[in-house]
Amino acid sequence: MRYLHIIGCLFCWGVITSCEQELPLPAGNGMPRAVVYSELIAGTTPEVRVGRSKAVGPGIDNAFVFTTDAIVQLQDRNGGLIETLTYSPDSSNVMGLYVGKSTIDPGKNYKLQVTVPELKPVNAMATIPPPFKVELLDSVRTLLNGRPVLRFHFTVSPIPGVKQYIVMEALKQSVITDTSFTYKGARYRKSEHRSWFDEVKNKPEADIRKDSIFQNDYLRIPCYTQDETADNNQIGGLNENYNSILFTQNGKPLTTDFYINATALSSNPTEAIAPIGRVLVYVKSVSKEYYDFLLTYEKVKRNPGLNSLIQAIQLRSNAIGGLGVVGGSYQKLYYLYYDKL
Amino acid sequence: MLFLFPAASLTAQTSKDNLLYLKYIPPLNQGTILFYIQDLQKQTGISVSYSSSFLHLNKKVQLTGKENTTGQVLAAILQGTGIQAASLNGKIFLLREQSQTQYYTISGFVKESNSNELIIGASVYDPVTRKGTETNAYGFYTLQVPDTCTGIVFSHIAYQTLYQHLPPPDDGQLNVYLAPHGMLQTVNVNADRGNVSSQAGYLNMPVGYVSNFPALLGEKDVLKSLQLYPGTSSSLESSSNLLIRGGGSDQNLYLLDGVPLYHTGHLFGLFSIFNGDAVKDVSLYKDAFPAKYGGRLSSVVDIRTRDGNMKEWHGSTTVSPVSASILLEGPIKKDKSSASLSIRRSLVDLLYGSTLLSDYGKYYLYDVNFKLNQVIDDRNRIYVSFYKGQDKMFVRSNNPLIQLFDDYNFDWSNISAAAKWTRVINPKIFSNTTVSYSRFYNLFTQNSIIPLSFYDSLFVRGKGVSRIRDIAAKNETEYAISNNQHISFGLGYTYHNFAPTAYHTNISAGDALQRQAPIYYMSDVTAYVEDELSLLNDRLVVRPGLHFGALLQYSSVYASAQPRLMARWQLPHSQYIQMSFAKMTQFLHQLTTPVINLPTDLWVPSTENIKPEHAYSYSLGYQKQWSNLWRFNINLYYKQLKDLVTTNTVLNIFDNSDLWEKKVIAGNGYNYGSELLVEKTQGKLTGVFSYTLSWAWRQFDRLNAGRMFPYKEDRRHNLSLALKYRINPKWSLAASWKFASGAPFTLPVQIFPDFDWARNIKGYLDERYSPFSTNQVNYLPYFARLNNYRLKPIHHLDIGGTVNLGKEKFRHIITAGVYNIYNRSNPFIVSFDQFSYFTYDEIYPLQLYQYSLFKTLPYLSYTLKF
């Protein structure tokens, strides 16, 4: 049950008797800005996605320029350079991906400086939350308002004197299964060298193995909460689904049931509702700025505010000089395998 | 017999042969003054001279039985009148005492001669002294006149002016019957009231006015008629959603026969729920709020319905291609009790339901107004009134226009019922006591089929109800101490029962918590006192007042003392300057996202977390009239709004929880502007020109980075010009042109890659967001400032004509016209990007799409009056 449904009906009714007119967008005087997305995760190496925004004006479309010429620097809190990230070519990406080698430490502050030619540089500071303790007490398949769900019972321990911003979400990562074979010291993929595979497959020196290759492709799994302390209640109702469940933890243990939609857990080839893959369930402690972004992002995804009937929602951002967000995160990741890989 | 000598000019004889010492024994101990004078003359043969202009001859008097001389009897019957008897030259003169002019009070009801319908707002004044008053909402007046006054003028814009000779009847109650003007003669607001009742920031509109000008689909609409005047506007083209001086639609107090209503729109606000046939009189207060009103921040719209004809049965019926209505009114017992019944229903479903609209769904609305009016005696009267309005809508999921996932039913309804007792306690004191019941509910059902897998789906039938019930009692008393001082005071109590977010489904909740829908029980207590003073020989009218309101519930108590002040300085040549201040407090809030008037907008109370809203309103006005023909009015206003409540997300109202409080933020507002009105109120050509220059700002700490931004109802310019030309008593033509600056709209200044899209995260599963969410756009909008862009202005020219046919018994009125004659495409909705289905990977141009609702639309209606 969603309020937008109601507006949808009204709109439908209105359109029945209305007529549509295309109007040019007013000429804007804004310049494109650099867009930076990064979640600096404790214990991992930094990854930063860089792109360009488009100023709204006549002739605009929704195609974005792929950015490969940015200079991305990871700095310590005082601006000291830790490393310059390098561009990582990957045709599956829609924004330029820049990766680093240093490991992100929990409890530290990092600065990210991104310079895209001809655009204003972007500076952002992210605090990496300290380690936190989360306990998965059990998980069970059940029903929530008629929908099959998987329920996780989590307890997140507080850190004395520290306000924690907890985010729970779930993704399904696509996987493809392929066969690799090694012949005379060289390794090949069957999907890329099918004829060669057919030729050598029966030779004794051919070493044939089946691989699961996880793709840079994810499906967001809707999640739910029944917890009235969740900040999702600032966004919608308890019977609704969300990208992520958000909590502000004020020094008290957080014990909650986290639900994810079970429809996508396993894939049925005839249905194609969900890809074959593995399920990733995240429990994260994130920086305040990142949390604010996620909270407003959740609102924007439900209501982009792109028509005159609905008030627009402004995204929170800490990317000074640009757009996007640079967040700090300390995460616990649970892998669930329902599909046969 | 008319001698007017001051008592001092004669010396009363005191000797024994004085005519006042002659033996005279009256035959009765009780009688009128006239009876005793005539009997004294008959028995003694003495001529008694007096002036009927200052002697109330029909006044009943009581003797002790001990009076046995002419002087004793005359002294007894003239006691307290300020008149004394004197003998001179063989005659007895009844003379006014020298001290000062004597005043006495007359009071009564002003009624329509044909029907006994009580007339609200009729002027009652002494034409010599220009002292006067006007009838209240129950047609009652009270006026003190000097004994030299020989007659009183009764006038009303819709009726022929009457000069009533004095003295009044024996009991002092002077009921007056005014004859209406010719059929459907142009009437206009506040004309012909001289300096008695005009106020800046106040409009009083007789119902005849409503049908003066062209209307969308020919539907007479009370609230849209008000929108011709400055300071009033609507959020969308031709919406009855009334906005006053930059306030929201929820900030208007709508009273139907004194009962507050929460939802006043049919068909999403396209038409108001007030059936023009049933309405008698509309008053709009924009500032200088009388102390008896409270509970809303921006305005008071006080609507009174017809009482019913006390003389004979009459009726009318109106048919148009979209609706039909009927009105019946007449006496149950002649001159004692009457009833009025009016019914209106849309015909769209009946006429086009099985053809044009069958694929889309079904819609209808209706209204029923009923009123019973019982005269107990000259001083007491009882009214019973009832209203029910209903909208029902069904929208098919598989309609040919937009594929929805669900079937929807909307069903929203107002009911109000009131019993009212009006009592003339004495000629100076009038009181009314009302008990009322009001209910609004919005029922919403949704039938969904939610795919669970390729082969499996879940049928969900959800039912949401948002309901308000009020039970109220109040008393209002008006006390005319003198012509220069009127006090009014009253008490009220309302028991609120709000159940804003009840929701049930057919599906098993499973792990979901079973919540009881929250219900809020509250007591709303009001009290007020107000004193209207005429000072400096009526040149200055000052009206201080105090309204007290309190909302009491289990978890919180809020009280608010709201001072009111109005001062009007009368200048020569029918000019005046008026200033006012008012504090208004609103305990009940409407949570809404869109700008159209939805029944699903949620009314919630102030709670321990949500404070009441306050408005501090200042106004300064100047008005001049020219011989009741022209009226010029200019107003300046400034309004500060505190603790305004708004939502900062898209509401889901049906989740059986009180978590709506988490979606609400509070902030401030500032509305200011100026208004200009030029009106021609009499003659063959009449009309209104109004212009409003205004600003409305809002400021919320958590919106727009805490900076002020234009309110969604901010319109810089509002202009309307309406003219009516009466060619002859049968034919008339009318035209109106309305203009409003474009509404604010938040347009993104940049778009940038979506956060999930940028990370190769897709997400279309389980109808994630809304029917529109299948539009998986790959970008996010960046809004630098809220409401940074303006939609195109709205304007349209409408013309219409009316022809009146038929004789006395049956009259036929044909109204026809064209709405938006130059086919202007006015913005109804403007969207950045289309309401269409796209996928992440699709590249397409972005632009604005404007959806317009009404192009050129003809209308035609036929009314039979009998």
Kindly identify which residue of chain A lies nearest to residue B600, measuring between CA atoms.
Answer: A6
Q: Is A6 close to B827, i.e. CB distance below 8 A?
A: no
Instruction: Please tell me the CATH code under which domain B7-96 is placed.
Output: 3.55.50.30
Q: What percent of chain B has pLDDT over 90?
A: 34
Cβ of A5 within 8 Å of Cβ of B827? The answer is: no
Touching check for A284 and chain B: CB below 8 Å? no
Cβ pair A89, A69 in contact under 8 A = no
The one-letter code for the residue type at B820 is N
What amino acid is encoded at A259 in this protein? Y
Domain span(s) for CATH 2.60.40.10 in chain A = 27-127
Q: How far is CA B155 from CA B121, B193, B306, B383, in A?
A: 9, 8, 19, 25
Which of B252, B197, B250 shows the shortest CA–CA distance to B226?
B252
Query: Are the beta carbons of B748 and A62 separated by less than 8 Å?
Result: no
Average pLDDT value for residue range B185-207: 50
Task: Write out residues 56-75 of A within 8 Å (CB-CB) of B.
Answer: 56, 58-64
Model confidence band, residue B183 (pLDDT cutoffs 50, 70, 90): very low
Dist CA B504 CA B514 (whole Å):
10
Q: What is the pLDDT of residue B194?
A: 33
In three-state form (DSSP H/G/I as H, E/B as E, the rest C), the secondary structure along A222-283 is: CEEECCCCCHHHHCCCCCCCECEEEEEEECCCEEEEEEEECCCCCCCCCCCCCCCEEEEEEE
Q: Which residues, listed in sequence order, are joined to residue B165 by a DSSP beta bridge?
A: B151
Q: Which of B356, B598, B658, B782 to probe the A interface (max A CBs under 10 A)? A: B782
Q: What is the average per-residue pLDDT within B824-842? A: 75
Instruction: Please say whether the beta carbons of B55 and B94 come within 8 A.
Output: yes
Measured on CA atoms in the order B447, B452, B454, B455, is the torsion positive or negative? negative
Taking alpha carbons only, the member of B715, B769, B717, B766 closest to residue B745 is: B715
CA-angle at B354, arms to B397 and B358, nearest 5°:
15
Q: Distance between CA B205 and CA B755 in Å, rounded?
A: 56
What does the pLDDT read at residue B569? 93
CB contact under 8 A, A308 and B827: yes
Write the CB contacts of A80 (distance below 8 Å, at least 6 apart in sequence): none
Q: Before B827, cis peptide (omega within 30)?
A: no
CATH superfamily of B299-507+520-747+783-865: TonB-dependent receptor, beta-barrel domain (2.40.170.20)
**Predicted pLDDT of residue B427:** 81
A 120-179 → B contacts, CB under 8 A: 142-149, 151, 171
- Both structure tokens of B172: 């002092």
> What architecture is domain B103-180?
Sandwich (2.60)
- Closest among B836, B851, B403 to A18, alpha carbons compared: B851
φ, ψ of residue B222 in degrees (nearest 5): -60, -45
Query: What average pLDDT does chain B have?
Result: 83
For residue A175, give how far its alpha carbon lies from the nearest alpha carbon of chain B (Å): 14
pLDDT for B266: 83
What does the DSSP assignment read for B745-762?
E---SEEEE-HHHHTTEE
Which of B709, B772, B790 best tests the A interface by mutation, with the highest count of A CBs <10 A? Answer: B772
When pLDDT is averaged across residues B479-505 and rounded to a whole number, the result is 90
Architecture of domain A27-127: Sandwich (2.60)
Contacts of A12 in chain B (CB under 8 A): 360, 395, 399, 401-402, 404
- Alpha carbon distance A169, A223 (integer Å): 7
Contacts of B762 in chain A (CB under 8 A): 217-220
CA contacts within 13 A on the Cβ side of B810: 5
Q: Tell me whether 0.90 is exceeded by the ipTM.
A: yes
Of B758, B780, B825, the CB nearest to A94: B758
- B17 Cβ contact partners less than 8 Å away, ≥ 6 residues apart: none
A 10 A CB-CB count for B295 gives 23
How does residue B341 score in pLDDT terms, banded at 50, 70 and 90?
very high
Residues of A whose CB is below 8 A from B649: 234-236, 299, 302-303, 313
Beta strands, E only, B483-554 = 485-505, 520-535, 540-552
pLDDT band at B16 (very low <50, low <70, confident <90, very high): very low
Report how far residue A98's alpha carbon sits from residue B815's, in angstroms, rounded to the nearest whole number: 72
User: Are A2 and B835 an interchain contact pair (Cβ–Cβ within 8 Å)?
Assistant: no
Residue ranges of chain B assigned to CATH 2.60.40.1120: 103-180
Taking CB atoms and an 8 Å limit, are A228 and B657 in contact across chains? yes
- For A257, the closest chain B residue by CA position comes to B511
**Structure token digits, residue B372:** 């019973």
Q: Choosing among A172, A286, A306, which should be mutated to test the B contact, i.e. which has the most B CBs within 10 A?
A: A306
Question: What does the pLDDT look like over B85-128, one tens digit per residue?
Answer: 888 777 888 877 655 567 778 888 898 887 888 888 888 888 77
Q: Please report the sign of the dihedral spanned by the C-alpha atoms of residue B221, residue B223, residue B229, residue B233.
A: negative
Q: State the pLDDT at residue A270.
A: 63
DSSP assignment letter at A292? H
More confident residue, B649 or A156: A156
What is the model's pLDDT at position B171?
62
Which residue does chain B place closest to A143, by CA atoms? B510
Q: Considering only the beta carbons, identify the residue of B751, B769, B835 that sits closest to A54.
A: B751
In A, which residues are within 8 Å of B650 by CB distance?
2-4, 236, 299, 302-303, 310
Distance of alpha carbon B388 from alpha carbon A189, whole angstroms: 75
- For residue B598, the chain A residues in CB contact (below 8 A) are 6, 10
- Residue of A311, A313, A315, A329 to mutate for B, most B C-beta atoms under 10 A: A311
**pLDDT tier at B444 (50, 70, 90 boundaries)?**
confident
Decide if B551 contacts B606 (C-beta within 8 A). yes
Tens-digit pLDDT profile for residues B302-312: 998 888 888 88
Chain Cα centroid distance, residue B405: 41
* Residue B586 pLDDT: 96
Every domain range in chain B assigned CATH 2.40.170.20: 299-507+520-747+783-865
Query: Would the CB atoms of B750 and A53 count as touching at under 8 Å?
Result: yes
Please give the helix or strand (H or E) that residue B34 lies within, else none. helix B33-44
**pLDDT (tens digit, 9 = 90+) per residue, A50-69?**
999 999 999 899 999 999 99
A56 chain-B contacts, CB cut-off 8 A: 747-751, 832, 846
pLDDT: which is higher, B207 or A300: A300
**Amino acid at position B24, single letter:** Y
Give which of B167, B3, B1 is closest to B95, Cα–Cα. Answer: B3
Residue B12 confidence (pLDDT): 42
Distances (CA, A) of B433 to A35, B116, B336, B803: 67, 22, 20, 42
Q: Which positions ≥6 away from B712 have C-beta within 8 Å?
A: A311, B235, B595, B743, B744, B787
Backbone phi and psi for residue B88, each to the nearest 5 degrees, phi listed first:
-160, 130
Question: In this complex, do B508 and A143 lie within 8 Å of one another by their Cβ atoms?
Answer: yes
Mean pLDDT, to the nearest integer, of B497-508? 84
CATH 3.55.50.30 in chain B: give the residue spans: 7-96
- pLDDT higher than 60, residue B772: no
Tell me if residue B77 falls in helix, strand or coil.
helix
Q: What is the pTM of this model?
A: 0.83
**What residues of chain A, 176 to 215, have a C-beta less than 8 Å from chain B?**
none
- Beta A34-41 vs A323-336: how paired, if at all? parallel
Q: What tokens does B303 get?
A: 């609507």
C-alpha distances (whole Å) from A106 to each of A38, A44, A250, B448 are 16, 10, 19, 46
**pLDDT confidence of residue B132:** 83
Report the C-alpha gap between A154 and A254 in whole angstroms. 8
